[in-house]
């Protein structure tokens, strides 16, 4: 895994181009601490920091074509690189390394952009045609790897992480109220959002082509959730799932370094650990998080699983003070506002993984989106059918949606929820039927913002512009939204890539293999009870996993939110309500901010629920984002630690 950065076009700043790209790469060196390389041209500087995983000796970057016309800076892994390499070799392509990076370049030279749908991997890259002065920036289909772009005085900046822009002379971060309102209401940045003025993401499955002043944006992969033909029987469906997941794990174990597995204690990561353990000659290394807070701890399930599989297990125990202490550093890597603190323990876990000598981990992300594991998919089934159901059926289904949430538990709870669900049986936000309750709840956090615009405008525009979205069935619309918001905007990024790569650890997600996602679409809700989530996954692996893991049901990975700050860092109360700081941040409403902080710190605890926790975490993360990005404190000024390999193709550097 790696990080990339660069600047294209306009008037590149005077002074050394080498120093410019070194400064940008230094900001993201944690993503690839093993080596760094750059390409310099009259119109372009770009570079890569590399985490060596495949072909450690020869996989250096940047990599160029034999004739020196094409240059590639690549961040990612192509899991099917061996198959593509064979196919390209059969067409006469000669390879000089065993790296997947060279396969990407040769595939691009052979097929052009048409190579992209052939790629099974997680990647973001910049490929430059020096003859045409054309730079293409590309991002993978699910948004596994990040790619940010900013326009600064006629120059295009791009990088795996926004903090690279801090090293570009004159560049400043400024919060964008409109984007913040959308992020606070919908939990995460939308695919193109960053939270800052003038900074965008290349959305998943898209590319950006730059040629002089010409800009072309396009999409190479759509999120196809239409079901294919159904398997003939439940047994067939189970066999297909086993086969596709095994294949997805097989290709993700391709690595020249040891691969570990994150285990949460839940079904999805347990399946991955089982499959990986069966394929390793020695004991598999597994890693997990334990909490002092029993409400979020899953160590009993983790212990049952790792004992069953005989893994070499490492657990990190997280206390309140650990969350608070690591929060600023984790936000620095997250780069965008966070609505819960669960990404922080993942940062601490990655640190332990790296210390244990592991650079690659597999995890269970994507299973809940592909196989409809979340309560929101049951919500939409219930709400769609609401008017056809009698009251007893409604009550029964409500009780089965979020059994782990306290306000769904207890006598009479389901009955009290009736009126709430009834409120959301009509579509008030066009195209967002499934997520109305969640988004509506997000309005509370939006009140943190002064002069907040309509927080749902951006997400409405997103679905309105999506070809074919309107015709999707309600559950598939919900699934599309989950892939495009929570998965890409938080789980894969803030909680995934950014925390792991913060310590030079690459995370891989077998459930996001395109073949697995395609198969899931064809089997979902065709067998079993849709209110028994991930029914087929449980059927497929019940015989090899501990019973308590399979029987537990959906229990989302969470960490202690505002209570950790109240218990371990009471000084946050003054910090977050300081007039000078609030004035400087500028976008916050001081009255609501103070009322919220008072509520969180004064309690009582039962009055601090999900919405208060989310708003508080968004506030605390915004405070640190202001410090790191708007004030620029995240900038590293020291030189690259691993040195810099330079390919200098500037006119001034070429021999006469």
Partner 1 sequence: MPDATLTAELKDYLESEALIRFGEEITEDTDLFKAGVLDSFGYIALMNHLHERYGVELGEELLDSVRVSLRAIVELVEASAVPSAAHGEDGR
Identify any residues that bridge with 206 across adjacent strands, giving them in sequence order: 219
Nearest to 500 by CA among 310, 303, 360, 402: 360
From CA 647, how far away is CA 530, in angstroms rounded?
56
Does the annotation list 100 as a binding residue? yes
Task: Closer to partner 1 by CB, 329 or 437: give it.
Answer: 437
Q: On the CB side of 195, how many CA atoms lie within 13 Å of its CA?
A: 23
CA angle 241, 485, 120 (to 5 degrees): 45
Query: Rounded to the nearest 10 degrees, what angle do helices 234-252 and 514-523 cross at?
Result: 170
Closest CB 319 distance from partner 1, rounded Å = 27
Closest CB 431 distance from partner 1, rounded Å = 18
Task: Closer to partner 1 by CB, 278 or 420: give it.
Answer: 420
Strands (E), 268-364: 285-291, 312-318, 360-362
Does the annotation list 322 as a binding residue? no
Closest CB 367 distance from partner 1, rounded Å = 25
Task: Closer to partner 1 by CB, 81 or 402: give it.
Answer: 402
Cβ–Cβ under 8 Å, residues 47 and 36: yes
Task: Closer to partner 1 by CB, 391 or 543: give it.
Answer: 391
Does the annotation list 363 as a binding residue? yes
Closest CB 440 distance from partner 1, rounded Å = 6
468: left (phi over 0), alpha (psi -120 to 50) or beta: left
What separation in angstroms does the CA of 246 have from each of 277, 283, 365, 510?
11, 18, 16, 9
Cβ–Cβ under 8 Å, residues 308 and 542: no
38 is catalytic: no
Binding site for partner 1 (CB under 8 A): 391, 407, 412-413, 415-420, 422-423, 437, 440-441, 443-444, 446-447, 592, 595-596, 599, 607, 609-611
Closest CB 472 distance from partner 1, rounded Å = 25
Identify any residues that bridge with 4 across adjacent strands, giving them in sequence order: 48
Q: Which of 2, 38, 115, 509 is catalytic?
A: 2
Q: Which ranges constitute the DSSP H helices of 498-589?
A: 498-501, 514-523, 535-541, 547-551, 562-568, 572-577, 579-585
Closest CB 28 distance from partner 1, rounded Å = 38
Burial label for 270, CB within 10 Å (0-12, 13-18, 19+), is: buried
What is the helix (H) or strand (E) element at residue 328, kind and residue range?
helix 320-334
Backbone φ and ψ for 503, nearest 5 degrees, come out as: -120, 20
Does the annotation list 468 as a binding residue? no
Task: Closer to partner 1 by CB, 123 or 601: give it.
Answer: 601
Task: Closer to partner 1 by CB, 62 or 375: give it.
Answer: 375
What is the helix (H) or strand (E) element at residue 206, kind and residue range?
strand 206-211
Residues with catalytic function: 2
Which residue ranges make up the annotated binding site for L-glutamine?
A: 100
């Amino acid at each position: 895994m790696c990080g990339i950065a660069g600047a294209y076009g306009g008037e590149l700043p005077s002074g050394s181009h080498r120093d410019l790209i070194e400064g940008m790469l230094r900001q993201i060196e944690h993503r690839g601490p093993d080596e760094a390389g750059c390409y310099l041209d009259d119109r372009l500087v770009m570079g890569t920091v590399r985490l060596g995983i495949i072909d450690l000796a020869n996989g250096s970057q940047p990599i160029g074509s034999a004739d020196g016309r094409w240059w590639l800076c690549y961040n990612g892994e192509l899991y099917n690189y061996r198959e593509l390499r064979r196919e390209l070799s059969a067409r006469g392509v000669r390879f000089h390394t065993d790296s997947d990076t060279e396969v990407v370049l040769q595939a691009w030279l052979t097929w052009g952009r048409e190579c992209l749908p052939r790629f099974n991997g997680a990647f973001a890259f910049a490929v430059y045609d020096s003859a045409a002065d054309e730079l293409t920036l590309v991002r993978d289909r699910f948004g596994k790897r990040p790619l940010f772009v900013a326009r600064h005085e006629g120059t295009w900046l791009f990088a795996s992480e926004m903090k690279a822009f801090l090293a570009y002379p004159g560049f400043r971060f400024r919060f964008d109220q409109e984007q913040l309102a959308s992020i606070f209401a919908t939990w995460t940045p939308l695919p193109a959002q960053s939270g800052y003025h003038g900074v965008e993401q290349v959305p998943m499955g898209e590319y950006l082509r730059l040629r002089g002043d010409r800009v072309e944006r396009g999409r190479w992969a759509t999120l196809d959730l239409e079901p294919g033909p159904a398997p003939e029987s439940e047994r067939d469906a189970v066999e297909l799932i086993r086969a596709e997941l095994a294949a997805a794990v097989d290709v993700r174990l391709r690595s020249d370094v040891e691969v570990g597995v994150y285990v949460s204690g839940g079904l999805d990561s347990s399946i991955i650990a089982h499959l990986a353990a069966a394929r390793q000659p020695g004991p598999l290394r597994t890693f997990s998080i334990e909490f002092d807070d029993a409400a979020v701890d899953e160590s009993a399930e983790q212990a049952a699983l790792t004992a069953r599989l005989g893994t070499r297990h490492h657990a990190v125990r997280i206390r309140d003070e650990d969350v608070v202490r690591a929060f600023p550093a984790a936000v620095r890597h997250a780069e965008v506002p966070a609505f819960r603190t669960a990404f922080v323990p993942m940062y601490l876990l990655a640190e332990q993984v790296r210390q244990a000598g592991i650079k690659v981990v597999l995890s269970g992300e994507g299973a809940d989106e592909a196989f409809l594991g979340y309560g929101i998919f049951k919500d939409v089934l219930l709400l769609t059918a609401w008017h056809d159901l009698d009251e007893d059926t409604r009550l029964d289904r409500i009780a089965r949606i979020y059994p782990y949430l306290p306000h769904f538990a207890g006598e009479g709870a389901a009955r009290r929820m009736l009126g709430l669900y009834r409120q959301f049986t009509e579509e008030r936000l066009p195209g967002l039927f499934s997520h109305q309750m969640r988004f509506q709840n997000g309005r509370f956090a939006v009140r943190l913002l002064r002069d907040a615009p309509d927080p749902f405008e951006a997400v409405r525009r997103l679905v309105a512009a999506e070809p074919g979205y309107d015709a999707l069935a309600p559950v598939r619309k919900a699934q599309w939204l989950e892939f495009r918001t929570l998965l890409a905007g938080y789980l894969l990024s803030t909680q995934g890539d950014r925390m792991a790569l913060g310590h030079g650890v690459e995370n891989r997600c077998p459930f996001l293999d395109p073949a697995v996602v395609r198969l899931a679409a064809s089997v979902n809700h065709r067998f079993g009870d849709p209110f028994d989530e991930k029914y087929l996954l449980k059927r497929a692996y019940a015989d090899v996993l501990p019973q308590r893991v399979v029987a537990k049901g959906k229990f989302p990975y969470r960490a202690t939110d505002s209570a950790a700050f109240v218990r371990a860092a009471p000084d946050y109360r003054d910090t977050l309500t300081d007039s000078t700081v609030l004035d400087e941040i500028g976008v916050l409403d001081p009255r609501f901010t103070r009322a919220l902080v008072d509520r969180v710190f004064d309690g009582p605890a039962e009055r601090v629920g999900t919405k208060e926790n989310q708003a508080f975490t968004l506030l605390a993360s915004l405070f640190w984002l202001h410090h790191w990005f708007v004030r620029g404190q995240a900038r590293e000024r020291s030189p690259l630690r691993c040195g810099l390999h330079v390919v200098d193709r500037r006119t001034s550097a070429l021999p006469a």
